[in-house]
């Protein structure tokens, strides 16, 4: 028996309504599992405490209020409005279930987020814009455009770096040629001419 199975059978075991085979299985598991034994001990103590607590009498008005709220007395169902209001409530009852309302709200939220990513403003939405094919095509187009821009930027950066490196090489080459030309000139030309003396 697993701990999960024991948790399911524990209430029946403590109440004494479990059959003999199930009770043996629970007791064997409690002997081998310290965690489940502690859980069973705590549950037994809580049950014994609740058995010792005095019963609380409900307020006198509670029963009267419950009977007043029910439609046809002690064994009747809750009163439902009749006429057009009752018919409308019966008609809309499946659509107003919390699970359906939450699902629809999440659907609208998902579509609005996808539309925003696709570049469609929610104020401009038309029923045709909610077509999943159109949304997917718009998203695909935006992804391809972004990819194209990033590839183009990368290639342009490479081109700019190549131009800069060639300009640097050319300027270094020109400086070296000027140094070589200056070194190959005769010594007389490299000297600074003397200024004539004033007479």
Q: What is the pLDDT of residue 73?
A: 46
3-state secondary structure of 142: helix
Angle (CA) 160-163-165 rounded to 5° is 110
Under a CB-based contact definition with an 8 Å cutoff, are residues 112 and 135 in contact? no
**C-alpha span between 193 and 3 (Å, rounded):** 107
Residues 6 or more apart whose CB falls under 8 angstroms from that of 18 comprise 9, 12, 26
pLDDT digits (tens, 9 = 90+) for 181-195: 877 766 555 555 555
pLDDT digits (tens, 9 = 90+) for 43-96: 888 888 888 887 878 787 887 777 766 654 444 455 556 678 777 877 877 777
């Amino acid at each position: 028996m697993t701990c999960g199975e024991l948790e399911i059978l524990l209430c029946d075991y403590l109440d004494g309504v479990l059959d003999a085979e199930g009770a043996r299985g629970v007791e064997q598991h409690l002997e081998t599992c310290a965690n489940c034994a502690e859980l069973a001990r705590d549950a037994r103590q809580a049950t014994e405490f609740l058995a010792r607590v005095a019963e609380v009498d409900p307020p006198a008005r509670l029963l009267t209020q419950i009977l007043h709220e029910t439609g046809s007395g002690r064994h009747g169902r809750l009163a439902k409005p009749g006429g057009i209001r009752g018919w409308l409530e019966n008609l809309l009852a499946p659509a107003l279930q919390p699970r359906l309302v939450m699902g629809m709200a999440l659907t609208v939220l998902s579509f609005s987020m996808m539309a925003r990513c696709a570049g469609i403003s929610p104020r401009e939405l038309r029923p045709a814009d909610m077509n999943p094919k159109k949304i997917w095509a718009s998203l695909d187009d935006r992804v391809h455009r972004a990819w194209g821009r990033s590839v183009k930027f990368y290639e342009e950066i490479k081109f700019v770096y190549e131009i800069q490196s060639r300009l640097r090489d050319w300027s270094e080459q020109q400086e070296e040629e000027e140094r070589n030309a200056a070194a190959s000139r005769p010594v007389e030309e490299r000297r600074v001419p003397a200024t004539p003396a004033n007479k």
